[in-house]
Amino acid sequence: MDKYKYSISDLEQLSGIHVDTIRIWERRYNALTPMRSAGNTRLYNDQHLRRLLNIVGLSQSGMKISQVCALSDQQIDQLLKKEIDYTISSDSKIEYYISQLLKYGLAYNELKFDQLITSCIEELEMTSTYKNVLYPLLVRLGLMWRRDTICPAQEHFLSNIIRQKLFVAIDKIQVKNKTTASWLLFLPEDEDHDIGLLFAQYLLKSAGHRVIFLGGRVPMDSLKDAMAHNQSEHILLFMVRSRPVTDAQAYLNTLSENFSGSKIHLAGNSKLLTQLQLAENINWFQSIEGFEQTINQYQNVN
């Protein structure tokens, strides 16, 4: 059994499900069976976390909580396998790239992975490679983690190679700014998965926009300091991880108030973002195509 390392508050932060709701699901539906400390404190492990995330994901796809919680781990695994099957591309060439890159990545074969992804980028170009190959690969990887068929080290290995390729692609862009406006890119201080943010930087720089890239885990005070020195007209952030709706709403409200003179562009966890009330200066784009349209909209604005 995995080490018991999570409190119920940790599960709330990682899943976005309120502590009281987790307790209700445990009491009413036997959703989780935590370990108890000597002081009767609930303690959870990675298997509990995966099961909770799967319960959340399946319930958001339309199943009733009572139905999902009644499923065995094996039944949930079968449903996840079906979700993975849905990620298989109908284009045989695209699916070849996805499946082979996944195979090399899980085997820690950096040479083969690098050779294949380089060929893919040469054939499809970076934008199409990200949309059709890398993003679906990352989605499939996340589902495999939820099935407990890969370990965190494999996920980190694959993600870091993809990040390296994005860095190289960004570095190759010859900067020819077509607008005086600038974009400030960052992730909140509880977010560190920056692949989507790196791809956004690639798209912006390719379109001739000035970009200030802060990366992940940026505290609000650091963001204020960067804005004080640059006064960027556009701010872009991703909110990917699950979190309580009240926390996400409060964060975006603070962001909107502190930077009321800037247009704030938001992407990420659609299941979370659909539950939020967005201020007038916050624009939520729900797809890569939507972001590309936003880029084109501002490209010739001085």
Angle at 117 between CA 111 and CA 121, to 5 degrees: 145
Question: Rounded to an integer, what distance in angstroms lies between the CA atom of residue 57 and that of residue 62?
Answer: 9
Q: Which CATH number fits domain 182-299: 3.90.1150.10, 3.40.50.300, 3.30.750.24, 3.40.50.280?
A: 3.40.50.280
Considering only 60-64, 136-140, 271-275, which range has the smallest mean pLDDT? 60-64
Q: What pLDDT band is residue 1 in, cutting at 50, 70 and 90?
A: very low
Instruction: Give 272-286 pLDDT, tens digit per residue.
Output: 999 999 999 999 999
Q: What is the CATH number of domain 87-172?
A: 1.10.1240.10
- Residue 129 in tokens: 């490679």
CB crowding 247-263: b at 16 or more within 10 Å, else e = ebeebbeebbeebeebb
Tokens 């604005």, residue located: 301
Q: Quick one: three-class SS letters along 130-154?
A: HHHHHHHHHHHHHHHHHCCCCCHHH
Q: What pLDDT band is residue 63 in, cutting at 50, 70 and 90?
A: confident
All structural domains of the chain with their residue ranges? 8-71, 87-172, 182-299
Question: CB neighbours (10 Å) of residue 39?
Answer: 5
Average pLDDT for the chain: 92
Whether 8-71 and 182-299 share one fold: the answer is: no
Query: 62-71, 180-189, 194-203: which has the highest mean pLDDT?
Result: 194-203
- Arithmetic mean of pLDDT, 31-60: 91
- Arithmetic mean of pLDDT, 86-101: 95
Contact 55, 68 (CB under 8 A): yes
Q: Which residues contact 249 (CB under 8 A, 6 or more apart)?
A: 276, 277
Task: Region of 56 please: left (phi>0), alpha (psi -120 to 50) or beta.
Answer: alpha
Q: At what angle do helices 195-206 and 288-299 cross, to 10 degrees?
A: 30
Q: What pLDDT band is residue 302 in, cutting at 50, 70 and 90?
A: very low
Closest CA to 132 of 157, 104, 101, 167: 101
Phi and psi at residue 154, in whole multiples of 5°? -65, -40
Contact 15, 54 (CB under 8 A): no
CATH topology of domain 8-71: Multidrug-efflux Transporter Regulator; Chain: A; Domain 2 (1.10.1660)
The pLDDT of residue 144 is above 70: yes
The type of residue at 284 is W
Q: What pLDDT band is residue 2 in, cutting at 50, 70 and 90?
A: low
